[in-house]
Amino acid sequence: MKCSLRFWFLSTAFLLVFVMSLLFTYSHHSMATLPYLDSGGLGGTHRVKLVPSYAGLQHLNKGGLLSKSCTCRRCMGDTGASDWFDSHYDGNISPVWTKENMDLPLDVQRWWMMLQPQFKSHNTNEVLEKLFQIVPGENPYRFRDPHKCRRCAVVGNSGNLRGSGYGRDVDGHNFIMRMNQAPTVGFEQDVGSRTTHHFMYPESAKNLPANVSFVLVPFKALDLLWIASALSTGQIRFTYAPVKSFLRVDKEKVQIYNPAFFKYIHDRWTEHHGRYPSTGMLVLFFALHVCDEVNVYGFGADSRGNWHHYWENNRYAGEFRKTGVHDADFEAHIIDMLAKASKIEVYRGN
């Protein structure tokens, strides 16, 4: 009997010590992972405490570890409003390819390499290491102040923007994301004049002002070699089509779209409809993972059912609706579902 009591006492004591050790370790780790930002040029050193964005900590919020203090009309950190959204969303996957997440999972590597297969293989990590000597290779969205609302406008290229008068509203956002050609000069009243992020692949790339982030959407290792070349030697002039040999953009603002995030959209959201998601989908989900409030402009057909760009007249309604690559109908369905879940607001235009 004495032996049993002694065994029970020692076991209980050991368990208490183990639990206290775990609690101490967790508390210490939590405090250690809250970084501080030194903000210079503000008349002295001002240390601002930042925490990860609500979008990135959505799953923690489900466990009641965070209190909601988002100041937006709609907050990405709001959970429970849509089981469909919560079951698809993963805030742990970074939309930006950086020095920290260079190593792609094998299934992602294989999928990405088959998007636009090449005759010559390249060591992706070696290419990235050289590229990150030219561009930052950091994730600028990793931490932010949860008490401020980051409002983002995702501006597509649909003809429904023409005559919409959305320009002033678009320009009022913190981030304004555009894709591919997306001219603004001459269309300011309908599409706005400001741009903070421009998403392009090599074959659609153009020069950008110094205050705009060039976000490269890479479909192959050659695209990474191209951006490094276009910002330095200018040696690469052709991929599967002619490309700009030199690119005038702000090197400090260049970001690389993460293939793992690309595949996550293909698997979780567009669910393998089409060979891969459209650029519009890539930009929309980028915004959903770095912004607190997302408003969408210039997606879908115009009021007459025509699918064309706002800067051109296209006589063939539905030309861009289905291609061998994207499924515009299913992507439109996803946008509708996001709107119903109150995660985005869609401005339909004309």
* Residue 24 included in any domain: no
Q: What is the pTM of this model?
A: 0.79
pLDDT at residue 348 greater than cutoff 60: yes
* Residue 95 included in any domain: yes
**Residues 26, 22: Cα–Cα separation, whole Å:** 6
Task: Exactly one of 89, 276, 297, 310 is catalytic; name it.
Answer: 276
Does 297 show up as a binding residue in the annotation?
A: no
Does 36 show up as a binding residue in the annotation?
A: no
Catalytic residue list contains 347: no
Contact 173, 152 (CB under 8 A): yes
Does 59 show up as a binding residue in the annotation?
A: no
241 band by pLDDT with thresholds 50, 70 and 90: very high
pLDDT at residue 233 greater than cutoff 60: yes
* Residue 14 included in any domain: no
The structure tokens listed for 230 are 């276009």
* Residue 289 included in any domain: yes
Q: What percent of the chain has pLDDT over 90?
A: 65
Contact 59, 88 (CB under 8 A): no
* Residue 126 included in any domain: yes
pLDDT at residue 337 greater than cutoff 90: yes
What DSSP element (H or E) covers 296? strand 293-297
State the pLDDT at residue 6.
54
Contact 292, 252 (CB under 8 A): no
Does 180 show up as a binding residue in the annotation?
A: yes
Does 172 show up as a binding residue in the annotation?
A: no
pLDDT at residue 146 greater than cutoff 50: yes
* Residue 46 included in any domain: no
Bigger pLDDT: 71 vs 287: 287
* Residue 244 included in any domain: yes
How many domains does the chain divide into?
Answer: 1
Mean of pLDDT values over 4-27: 45
Mean of pLDDT values over 70-89: 79
pLDDT at residue 53 greater than cutoff 80: no
State the pLDDT at residue 72.
83
Does 189 show up as a binding residue in the annotation?
A: no
76 band by pLDDT with thresholds 50, 70 and 90: confident
Task: Exactly one of 88, 198, 266, 326 is catalytic; name it.
Answer: 326
Q: Mean pLDDT check: name the lowest of 24-38, 67-81, 123-137, 324-338.
A: 24-38
Mean of pLDDT values over 141-165: 93
Does 326 show up as a binding residue in the annotation?
A: yes
Does 240 show up as a binding residue in the annotation?
A: yes
The structure tokens listed for 50 are 């930042």
**Mean pLDDT over each residue of the chain, to the nearest integer:** 82
State the pLDDT at residue 140.
96
Place of tokens 């074959």: 203
Does 300 show up as a binding residue in the annotation?
A: yes
The CATH number linked to 294 is 3.90.1480.20
Catalytic residue list contains 276: yes
Domain that holds residue 297: 83-140+153-347
**Residues 90, 93: Cα–Cα separation, whole Å:** 6
Q: What percent of the chain has pLDDT over 70?
A: 75
State the pLDDT at residue 325.
84
pLDDT at residue 315 greater than cutoff 60: no
**Residues 263, 127: Cα–Cα separation, whole Å:** 20
**Residues 336, 344: Cα–Cα separation, whole Å:** 9
CB atoms within 10 A of CB 122: 14
Mean of pLDDT values over 82-89: 93
DSSP string spanning 196-263?
SEEEE-GGG-----TTSEEEE--SSHHHHHHHHHHTTT----BSSSB--SS--S-GGG-EEB-HHHHH
143 band by pLDDT with thresholds 50, 70 and 90: confident
* Residue 134 included in any domain: yes
Mean of pLDDT values over 33-44: 27
